Structure 1
Amino acid sequence: MTDITHPRLRLRPKGGSRFRTGAPWVYSDELVLDRRTRALPAGTIVTLEDAERQPMATGAFHPTSKIAFRVLERMPDHAIDRAWLHAKIAHAHALRDHLFDAPFYRLIHAEADGLPGVIIDRFGDAVAIQPNAAWADLLIEDIAAAVMAVTGVSTVIKNGTGRARALDGLPEETTVLQGALDGVVDVPMNGAIYQADLLGGQKTGLYYDQRPNHAFAARLVRDARVLDVFSHVGGFGLAALAGGAAHATAVDGSAPALALAEAGAAKMGMADKFATRKGDAFDTMTAMAGEGARFEVVICDPPAFAPNKAAAEAGLRAYERVARLAAKLVAPGGYLVLCSCSHAADLARFRQVSTKGVHRAGRAAQIIHTGEAGPDHPVHPGLAESAYLKALFLRLD
């Protein structure tokens, strides 16, 4: 029990059906939002009540967001302080410490780790925190202190960029909260060496979610020519080189990302087996097909074309186009890997449009493996959106 009393937030009589079955959110149209509650600052810690005013849970409130209540504890009037943060982070850290031999992983995966809207990636002695919800932005100093106490890292970066922060009305800002950072960070993963730019790169600097899919792709590439499209800092391409590929070509629209990919290949001593091509992925694949280029393995890991339901149909058409263009570049008997990080495009729809695109390219295929994010990206049982990553591995005729 506690003597803390948070402001009250009440459900409508028929509100909270998903919350009652385990979902970590309550939407604004499920709540009684009167003048008093709308006056609460974004990020205020509140206690949720049912329609009969019985306390149910502690969470974070946002008066203007569609996601108005984020569950922090399934107990009312719970203290949300540094000690609470320390316990949550320690619980998450214990899993990662058990799973990985080296301290390079996603430490906190938002709702699935009990910290809604918070992403924390670890890069050895440094962490990058994305506080994508107002409550976390308010408590960023306490989050940083708790992470340092649990992990022993000396450098903490606040990466305040991205669409999620904008939805919560938060400004873009990236800053060093603790310690210092001297250039990019070497990240060993699956035998490759990646270069992560924690201050200027996309997201937190590297995508850890594809780790198991990099590893499976590496099983297909021995002595192969590999094309890595939407490569970012060389995710699949460098893993392919580590797996024994004869050569890898990375395609991306970002010159800085490709430069980091080249630096990673050089760190691995494989610069002579690695090439980059800057340009729009669709245009580049079309041009390569016209040039007669063929690869034993082609991998496409595009950004989220369907980040929400409104964009789902257009996004699915884009994924079909990726599959069609990429399939034309695969040598007979070769492999095609197609990925989606769009939670609004579920696996069934993604598989449907991907195989349709392959068929439209005049190729027959068999699906040999379906991948997902690694275990440092756990799935919240009540939040389908947390199972966002899909990877289809196909063998073509």
Structure 2
Amino acid sequence: MTDISLPIVRMRPNKSPQRVRFGFPWIYNDELVLDRRAKNIPAGELVLVQDNDRRPVAICAFNANSKITARVLALGDTLTLDQDWFAQKMRYAAAYRDRMFDKPFYRLFHAESDGMPGVIIDRFGDAFVVQPNAAWADMRMDMIAAALRDVFDAAVIVKNATGRARGLEGLNEDSALLHGAIDAPIPTPMNNATYMADLLGGQKTGLFYDQRPNHAFAANLAKDCDVLDVFSHVGGFSLAALAAGAKSALAVDASTPALELATAGANASGHGDRFSTERGDAFDVMDGLAKDGRQFDVVVCDPPAFAPAKPALDKGLRAYERVARMGAALVKPGGFLVLCSCSHAADLAKFRTASLRGMGKSGRSGQIIHTGGAGADHPVHPHLAESSYLKSLFLRLN
């Protein structure tokens, strides 16, 4: 039965609703009739989207100020969006994660891929960090927090309001501790190491769970090796490598707090004596290491997104090429180079081409031994390429 209380927004006559009915989760601004009435609908409100024949397409979260104007919450014309709806989504998402991980440290919601458009929730035991990157979720944070307390008996709930996505939705950057108390980083077990997640002051949600399987693959290469971890953040690749028996790991990052957390993680893991850090611009540090004639058995470069959107693609690909060129120069013959990209705009083919060009310009050649993606707690939406954003190339260099 149609909820007649919802505002109705129609698709343009020349736009087909079929891909939405087949599962595509977004309706863009140029697909909808955005007259004065529609533009006056408050951001985050629910609407019923109809096709040109007035048949229901979906109930969507609406934001006339966003290019992604309608985010699908339910196909058809029936939806009860209440705390129980969020709780059911949470139970369903957790049931899968708890099959895949033996401890409750994972990404609970991966936005559209888990039926929660624009919503990221990372779990750290009984602490949860929520990124409501869409207006509909931001205005329902009380409901989301209540569901987390109901389903998981959450002790800590943090709202993280940083990031480019919120700006595109016209949202502020006011992060907050919504429930509980926290005064120290949370020890987080992964790949036989202990990481320190700063839920209040760290980047994004405090830790990057997506790289977990790539940390593990690199760790398998690192036994009895010297490892260079560039753009290390809190020591993602370094700590896993040390836990696997690396002789040493040097973490390079521009952030002093991140390196302090990495050091705390190395100490908590029992490997502090084999771990060192260098703070500075990654390109400057790599240049300095090359000038000093330094080389390592394993070099990992995991930079921030150089191409977060299409306008930055060309510049971003040049940056990835530069990373590969400088990183390859620091690898011992027979050693390994790991190159990563979390850029939505640079697909695997473009990233691989830029990386191999950079490797070639360094005068090195080698083999691609593995291509990695995000972990099992980052499912891919079958109709949304953007949800498969993480790429990792593992190369053995001659």
TM-score (norm 1): 0.98
Moved more, 381-390 or 177-186: 177-186
Q: Any conservation in 1 of the 2:21–2:75 contact (CA below 8 Å)?
A: no
Partner of 1:391: 392
Whole-angstrom distance in 1 between the partners of 2:89 and 2:315: 38
- How much does 1:2 deviate? 6.6
Q: Any conservation in 1 of the 2:231–2:302 contact (CA below 8 Å)?
A: yes
Q: Any conservation in 2 of the 1:4–1:79 contact (CA below 8 Å)?
A: no
Residue type of the alignment partner of 1:13: P
Q: Any conservation in 1 of the 2:3–2:77 contact (CA below 8 Å)?
A: no
Partner of 2:193: 192
Partner of 1:112: 113
Partner of 1:165: 166
- How much does 1:75 deviate? 2.3
Q: Any conservation in 2 of the 1:323–1:357 contact (CA below 8 Å)?
A: yes
Whole-angstrom distance in 2 between the partners of 1:362 and 1:213: 26
- How much does 1:355 deviate? 0.8
Whole-angstrom distance in 2 between the partners of 1:229 and 1:346: 22
Whole-angstrom distance in 2 between the partners of 1:207 and 1:9: 38
Partner of 1:220: 221
Partner of 2:290: 289
- How much does 1:148 deviate? 2.0
Whole-angstrom distance in 2 between the partners of 1:101 and 1:257: 26
- How much does 1:66 deviate? 0.5
- Structure 1 runs not aligned, ≥5 long: none
- How much does 1:135 deviate? 0.3
Identity of aligned residues (%): 61
Residue type of the alignment partner of 2:202: G
- How much does 1:61 deviate? 0.4
Partner of 1:265: 266
Cα deviations by residue, 1:5-50 (Å, 9 ceiling, x for unpaired): 3111110012246424421001001100011110010001111100
- How much does 1:246 deviate? 0.2
Q: Secondary structure at the match of 1:129?
A: strand
Q: Any conservation in 2 of the 1:47–1:77 contact (CA below 8 Å)?
A: no
Q: Secondary structure at the match of 1:388?
A: coil
In the alignment, structure 1 residue 317 sits paired with structure 2 residue 322? no
Q: Secondary structure at the match of 1:219?
A: helix
Partner of 1:35: 36
Partner of 1:298: 299
Whole-angstrom distance in 2 between the partners of 1:22 and 1:283: 46
Equivalent residue runs for 1:332-343 within 5 Å: 332-343=333-344
Whole-angstrom distance in 2 between the partners of 1:158 and 1:135: 15
Q: Secondary structure at the match of 2:59?
A: strand
Whole-angstrom distance in 1 between the partners of 2:153 and 2:372: 32
Whole-angstrom distance in 2 between the partners of 1:75 and 1:21: 12
In the alignment, structure 1 residue 14 sits paired with structure 2 residue 20? no
Equivalent residue runs for 1:107-146 within 5 Å: 107-146=108-147
Q: Any conservation in 2 of the 1:2–1:78 contact (CA below 8 Å)?
A: no
- How much does 1:221 deviate? 0.4
**Pair 1:49–1:2, CA change in 2 (3 A):** closer
Q: Any conservation in 2 of the 1:161–1:172 contact (CA below 8 Å)?
A: yes
Q: Any conservation in 1 of the 2:214–2:392 contact (CA below 8 Å)?
A: yes
Residue type of the alignment partner of 1:212: P
Whole-angstrom distance in 1 between the partners of 2:19 and 2:201: 38
Q: Secondary structure at the match of 1:209?
A: helix
Equivalent residue runs for 1:222-237 within 5 Å: 222-237=223-238
* Count of aligned pairs: 397
In the alignment, structure 1 residue 379 sits paired with structure 2 residue 380? yes
Cα deviations by residue, 1:155-188 (Å, 9 ceiling, x for unpaired): 1111111111111111111211111112110001
Cα deviations by residue, 1:104-137 (Å, 9 ceiling, x for unpaired): 0000000000000100000011000000000000
Q: Secondary structure at the match of 1:108?
A: strand
Residue type of the alignment partner of 2:292: E
Whole-angstrom distance in 1 between the partners of 2:4 and 2:151: 26
Residue type of the alignment partner of 2:106: Y
- The root-mean-square deviation of aligned C-alpha atoms, in Å, is 1.1
Partner of 2:83: 82
Partner of 2:5: 5
Whole-angstrom distance in 2 between the partners of 1:127 and 1:141: 14
Q: Secondary structure at the match of 1:22?
A: coil
Whole-angstrom distance in 1 between the partners of 2:103 and 2:274: 27
Equivalent residue runs for 1:37-56 within 5 Å: 37-56=38-57
Q: Secondary structure at the match of 2:210?
A: coil
Whole-angstrom distance in 2 between the partners of 1:70 and 1:240: 40
Q: Any conservation in 2 of the 1:252–1:278 contact (CA below 8 Å)?
A: yes
